[in-house]
Amino acid sequence: MDKFERIKRNTAEIVSEEELKEVLKKDEKSAYIGFEPSGKIHLGHYLQIKKMIDLQNAGFDIIILLADLHAYLNQKGELDEIREIGEYNRRVFEAMGLKAKYVYGSEFQLDKDYTLNVYRLALKTTLKRARRSMELIAREVENPKVAEVIYPIMQVNDIHYLGVDVAVGGMEQRKIHMLARELLPKKVVCIHNPVLTGLDGEGKMSSSKGNFIAVDDTPEDIRAKVKKAYCPAGVVEGNPIMEIAKYFLEYPLTIKRPEKFGGDLVVNSYEELERLFINKELHPMDLKNAVAEELIKILEPIRKRL
């Protein structure tokens, strides 16, 4: 698999693929992703970090923006608390094997030149467009604050200020990234990863909703969470267990089953797993048991490093 195909693997979209191919030809290239510091780093974060590692292996310099001011604007707590959580996040990302430059937003977002450019971008952005770009990100839906429209303009300005070639995020970031491509003189390549479904099957995996598997969960916790997770027989769409099997597991995969239920099953690809599950030749509990044990093995090195 060449560098482009490895980067493209398991993404939701790349805007645009041709632009990415051109960036790959450069000797020096950089990619960034921003995270609001979070108390628990879960599989949704890990999916993003795995993509940053793909980019790192393709020769990109990686920047992780620990977006403390964005988290503050999104009502995630006081700045000193947010920064403390950011240091924990950095340790977890390093334990995942990512080599990156870590930058706090507050290190540059309070500079005079940065602030002036936020004002320039604000003059070019309609209120409707700014609010629409936050639909999948903002915490306050019923009674939105002015901070909600400052947030996306700052994120656009971050891309300009960091001078990166590639911006990475989940699909919830798409509208902000498209705004950046319109407003900034340099069109950044945007790589969007899927948004993982929460274990309850309702909305995205989120630390605030508690519907997640943390990368430092114990084996016992992982087994218990997977066992209780939403996983309707024969249904793939919106099934968090099937998503984990698609984005995290390696194949061929051995699914252990009692002899009376057909014995062990060797699955050579995710596509084969999906076919077996849709045809109800694989029981949800057998799938869950296999996913839990594989996840424990995948996450064990991270737990040990932490």
Residues belonging to the binding site are 32, 151, 155, 158, 173, 207
ω into 133 cis (within 30 of 0):
no
Q: Name the binding residues for ATP.
A: 207
Residue 12's contacts (CB-CB under 8 Å, 6 or more residues apart) are: 171, 192, 193, 194
Give the span between the Cα atoms of 263 and 236, in whole angstroms. Answer: 23
The pairing of strands 265-267 and 253-255 is antiparallel
Contacts 24+ apart (CB under 8 A), 233-239: 233/277, 233/280, 233/283, 233/284, 234/277, 234/278, 234/279, 234/280, 236/274, 236/277, 236/278, 238/197, 238/201, 239/197, 239/201
DSSP designation for 199: T
Give the span between the Cα atoms of 158 and 115, in whole angstroms. Answer: 11
Q: In this structure, are residues 292 and 82 in contact, taking their beta carbons and an 8 Å threshold? A: no
User: For 42-70, b where at least 16 C-beta lie within 10 A, e where not — what string?
Assistant: bbbbbbbbbbbbbbbebebbbbbbbbbbb
210: its two tokens? 């508690």
Q: Name the binding residues for L-tyrosine.
A: 32, 151, 155, 158, 173
Largest CA distance in the chain: 70
User: What does 245-288 look like in DSSP terms, one character per residue?
Assistant: HHHT--SSEEE---GGGT--EEE-SHHHHHHHHHTT-S-HHHHH
SS3 106: helix
Question: Length of the chain in residues, anyone?
Answer: 306
